[in-house]
Each structure stands twice: as C-alpha cells, then as structure tokens.
Structure 1
C-alpha cells in the first residue's frame, strides 16, 4: 500500500471451520512478504471459558505460528477498539479474530448471569470509529451465523440480530468483504 493511500480494510465471514481464520492469516503472510519493513499483529478476542475452548485457542496459536511466524499476537477479549487505536500505524496490518467472540463477550461478560446490551451501542461506535480512523489496514474475521433458522431463545435472537447489524456496519467501512465456504473464497464486495 502506498503511504498516501487510505488503508483498505477487509471483512472475512464464514461458518465454523470454513477457513476464515486461515485466510486472514494468509492475508497477513502476503502483506509481510510484499514489502520490506512491514509488520502485522493478530488481535485475538477469545476467552478460554472451558477446557475445550482453551484447547481450541492453543491449537489456533500453534497453527498460526507455523503458518505465519512473523505475525505477532495481542489478546483483547473486551477492549478491541482501544487496542486497534493503540496499534494502528502505516505499514502495520492488523488482523482481528474474531468479531463474533468479541461481541458475545461484550453482550454476556464472563461471570454474568444474564446478557446485558446496555453498553453495546458505545462499544460498537468505538469499534467503527477506530476502523474509520485507522492508519493500518485491518482484516476482520467473523462468523456468518444468520443463514440458519431463527433461534428459539430471546438471548440467541438478540445476539444474531446484533451481529448481523455489526457485520453490515463493518462491511460499509471495508473495501473488501469475503465469504468463506468450505475453504473457498467468495468475493462479496471489492471496491476499486
């Protein structure tokens, strides 16, 4: 990217095991190899809520280190907008994996007995502002969960609706939107 150009963001959506994280990591690898002096950081949002999730996180870490050894990692399970702002600089790619977990943890903080969406509008606004203001290109990974049936519980419906609206707002700020299906990329949006 030419320093005089504005950063180009990408939203990568897909279902479970669709290849979205791997694709984001390969974007980082290509970014790092394209020009000397570039850097990249993955901003991980997952919290290990149980043993199986902790194992998933470890597997992602090992796989990521093997695929893209130069990709640094920062953990930001709740304070994603602030971390995006702190790390943004020209020549530095940021990869967010993933918006779904971040939103879920914001709506249903660890240890909470009930979901709480009262603080969500401010968190979403902070994320969108951080993306608009970013000096870094940002690749955002998220689960496309709205293609199935309507969930039975109110809490699940709120989560699906909120994530769908977040995707729309993030996509509006992205030059590229990619949908992953069975490891294959489908270009949904590609701005000139």
Structure 2
C-alpha cells in the first residue's frame, strides 16, 4: 500500500535516483483517489541549448505517458507566486526541480544573479500557505567531493541552505537512492 499523500513532501536525491518518478507516482495516486482531483507540474528548467531542449521535450513526452492527467506550467523564477496561483484544495502541485530554480536565480544566462535568501523564504511561506498538497523535487549534491572553484562551492552551499529550509517547511522528506525511497521525515 502506498503512503498517504502528505500535505507537503520534499523528494531529493542524486541524478537519476528516481526523484521525478516518485513525484509522478504521487500525482498519479492523487488523481486516482478522486475524480475531481487535479495535478499541476511547475517546471523550472529553461531550454538554453539544444541538449536541454531535447531533455525537456523527452521529459514532457515521458510525463504525458506516465501521468496523462497532469497539466504543466513553466516558471523558471517566480516559483512562490506560481505555487500560490496553482495550489488549491483539490489540486496537487509538483515542483520539478528546485535545483534548476536555484540555478536560474543564481546563475542566469544573462548575467548577475540574485541572493536566494528572500526567494527561498517566500517559497517556504508559499509551501506553508498552500491549500492543497505540494511535492517538491530537488537534487542532493553535497554527498561528494568538495568542488573546485569559488562559484561552484557557493552554489553547493546555497543549494544546501535551500534544501534545509524546504525540508523544515515540508511535512515529509524522502531521499531517493537507486529508485528506492527512504523517509527522512514523516508526518507527525
């Protein structure tokens, strides 16, 4: 039997660990639970180059096949606002992914990034205020070697701070490894 849908769940792990599949599985479960339920994916990736455009297209095709009833909204920056706009008691919102969102904030293609402290706080407030369930996907990249380069270390530090803040804000936190979920924090 699957876990009941939490009010908010943060799914994190390494690349190809099964994070998005877990989020999609929760969306499928939500949609199957009641005919009036809706699911919306807020996608944060941006198609900056050919490889990323193909990756996004592949994800869209795969997601349409795995979760045909889920709508998609693309929002690379104004995540708290998008969450507030699309959350409703009958709607599960999936955010995929926080790591790309942070990249968009800190390292935009057009130049100077912003401090992520306020956007992170706004996101955590939006999670707390969401009237419906929220599933957020993000990468855990702090398990490896210390990266070379000041900018890379700063990004790893910022992502660690974001992950910790979102973990506090969420009712459930799940770490994915090899396609298997490990519950780090469960609803009380």
Instruction: Please confirm whether the aligned pair reaches a TM-score higher than 0.5, indicating the same fold.
Output: yes
In 2, the alpha carbon distance for the partners of 1:84 and 1:58 equals 23
In 2, the alpha carbon distance for the partners of 1:132 and 1:183 equals 28
Aligned to 1:36: 35
In 2, the alpha carbon distance for the partners of 1:107 and 1:40 equals 29
Aligned to 1:52: 51
2:27–2:92: 8 Å Cα contact kept in structure 1?
yes
In 1, the alpha carbon distance for the partners of 2:83 and 2:68 equals 21
Aligned to 2:146: 150
- Quote how far apart the aligned CAs of 1:117 are: 3.6
Misfit runs of 4+, over 4 Å: none
- Quote how far apart the aligned CAs of 1:132 are: 1.3
In 2, the alpha carbon distance for the partners of 1:169 and 1:76 equals 20
- Quote how far apart the aligned CAs of 1:124 are: 1.3
Aligned to 2:96: 97
2:120–2:165: 8 Å Cα contact kept in structure 1?
no
In 1, the alpha carbon distance for the partners of 2:93 and 2:109 equals 25
Q: Which runs of 5+ in 1 are unaligned?
A: 1-6
In 2, the alpha carbon distance for the partners of 1:170 and 1:145 equals 15
Q: Paired residues, what number?
A: 183
- Quote how far apart the aligned CAs of 1:98 are: 0.1
TM-score (norm 1): 0.92
- Quote how far apart the aligned CAs of 1:116 are: 2.9
1:117-157 Cα offsets, whole Å, 9 max, x none, are 43x22211211111111112110000110101111111111
Q: Secondary structure at the match of 1:93?
A: strand
Aligned to 1:4: none
1:116 lines up with 2:113 in the alignment: yes
In 2, the alpha carbon distance for the partners of 1:153 and 1:28 equals 38
In 2, the alpha carbon distance for the partners of 1:144 and 1:121 equals 18
In 1, the alpha carbon distance for the partners of 2:105 and 2:158 equals 11
Aligned to 1:185: 181
- Quote how far apart the aligned CAs of 1:181 are: 0.7
Aligned to 2:3: none
RMSD: 1.1
